């Protein structure tokens, strides 16, 4: 996003202890280290809120857990090949260690752990799970893991699907290769990343910009937001993708490929001002048409399309050609965001002047030029 300064347009894209023996000097006592708090205030507050603990109980829980970590290390060493895993009992504040041989039990108890005799060692259970990892699981088999307390590999199945043919087949194969216990879960797991939605923020370095439009394989945005090879983080800070191509100045467009659990969505955010808008194509709107913009700073704003094929000279001396001018306002961080007319993608925000309090003008890079430059296909509904 760009801003005017005087008659020019400005870039606004958000973008010891020492031993003294033998020295003839009297040793100096080191200051006692300050006691470290058991946890940050924020962690203690979260434990009280989410676990229903009092402040004293939260501190006690943390102390017990720190002790259990040390006990587990010692108990694993004492058990040797008989080690069957361990688990912490929060109610009792105690660690229990499973062993496969009675002879190992006494040595483990000496470490301060409680002991349970089991059939399968931890190594055997890990090997059994590795065999399950080689099976093809249907969608309604949600997960599987080693449970030391159950001394089994627990397979979680989505509730209501235990009797499905593909699930039953998987469970038969699982039971043939490992000691299995089946449990149910309310629904299948999913990633917590999000689709690439027009107007949503993304980050590269210390710059925040906005997604323009989803294309198959990623999204298009403004070139001044990042150079080819730059890494991109999503709205939640997680790894999102990489700039595969970027052109600025002269042009102001870029293509970002995505991965890490992100996917493309043919949607532009309405930010609650209007319903989110589906993108159905990229037919070019005429001068004088109404047009709207979605961006991560100022959200959803509309105006008119004022001119096409305009050359813009930004205040830092960069020049961009073939931009389209609008009466829509924008501010820093809106760069790269979506310009849409009806359900037709128009372009990605380049720069402008003014703001969304006093008004202004904004230019966009037409989307069809970007698609043609990189051989991309717009993701449409």
Q: Tokens 């052109």 sit at which residue?
A: 247
Give exposure, 177-203, as e/b (b: 16+ Cβ within 10 Å).
bbbbebeeeeeeeeeebbbbbbbbbbb
Three-state SS across the chain?
CEEEECCEEEECCCCCCCCCCCCCCCCCCCCCCCCCCCCCHHHHHHHHHHHCCCHHHHHHHHHHHHHHHHHHHHHHHHHHHHEEEEEEECCCCEEEEEECCHHHHHHHHCCCCEEEECCCCHHHHHHHHHHHHCCCCCCCEEEEEEECCCCEEEEEEECCCCCCHHHHHHHHHHHHHCCEEEEEECCCCCCCCCEEEECCEEEECCEEEECCEEECCEEEECHHHCCCCCEEECCCCCEEEEEEEEECCECCEEEEEECCCCEEEEEECCECCECCEECCECCCCCCCCEEEEEECCCEEEEEEEEEEEEEEEECCCCEEEEEEEECCCCCCCCCCCEEEECCEEEEEEEEEEEECCCEEEEEEEEHHHHHHHHCCCECCC
The span from the CA of 377 to the CA of 345, in Å, is: 12
CB atoms within 10 A of CB 345: 32
CA atoms within 13 A on the CB side of 224: 29
Residue positions annotated with a catalytic role: 224, 252, 335
């Amino acid at each position: 996003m760009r801003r005017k300064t005087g008659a020019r347009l400005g870039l606004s894209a958000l973008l010891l202890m020492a031993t003294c023996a033998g020295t003839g000097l009297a040793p100096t006592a080191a200051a006692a280290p300050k006691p470290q708090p058991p946890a940050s205030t924020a962690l203690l507050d979260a434990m009280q809120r989410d676990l229903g603990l009092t402040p004293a109980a939260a501190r006690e829980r943390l102390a017990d857990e720190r002790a259990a970590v040390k006990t587990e290390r010692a108990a694993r060493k004492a058990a040797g090949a008989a080690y069957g895993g361990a688990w912490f009992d929060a109610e009792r504040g105690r660690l229990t260690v499973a062993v496969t041989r009675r002879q190992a039990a006494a040595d483990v108890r000496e470490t301060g752990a409680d002991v349970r005799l089991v059939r399968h060692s931890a190594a055997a259970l890990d090997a059994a799970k590795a065999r399950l990892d080689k099976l093809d699981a249907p969608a309604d088999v949600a997960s599987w893991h080693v449970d030391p307390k159950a001394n089994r590999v627990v397979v979680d199945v989505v509730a209501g699907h235990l009797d499905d043919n593909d699930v039953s087949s998987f469970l038969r194969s699982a039971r043939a290769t490992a000691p299995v216990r089946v449990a149910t879960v309310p629904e299948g797991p999913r990633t917590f990343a999000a689709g690439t939605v027009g107007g949503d923020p993304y980050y590269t370095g210390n710059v925040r910009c906005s997604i323009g439009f989803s294309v198959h394989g990623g999204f298009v945005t403004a070139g001044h937001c990042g150079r080819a090879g730059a890494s991109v983080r999503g709205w939640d800070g997680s790894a999102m993708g990489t700039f595969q191509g970027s052109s600025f100045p002269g042009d102001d467009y870029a293509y970002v490929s995505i991965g890490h659990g992100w996917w493309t969505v043919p949607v532009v955010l309405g930010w609650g001002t209007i319903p989110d808008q589906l993108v159905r194509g990229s037919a070019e709107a005429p001068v004088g048409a109404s047009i709207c913009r979605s961006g991560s700073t100022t959200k959803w704003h509309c105006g008119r399309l004022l001119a096409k094929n305009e050359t813009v000279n930004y205040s830092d001396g960069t020049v961009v050609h073939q931009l389209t001018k609008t009466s829509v306002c924008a501010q820093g961080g809106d760069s790269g965001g979506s310009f849409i007319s009806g359900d037709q993608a128009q372009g990605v925000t380049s720069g402008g002047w003014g703001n969304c309090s006093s008004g202004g003008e904004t230019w966009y890079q037409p989307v069809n030029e970007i698609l043609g430059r990189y051989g991309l296909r717009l993701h449409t509904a």
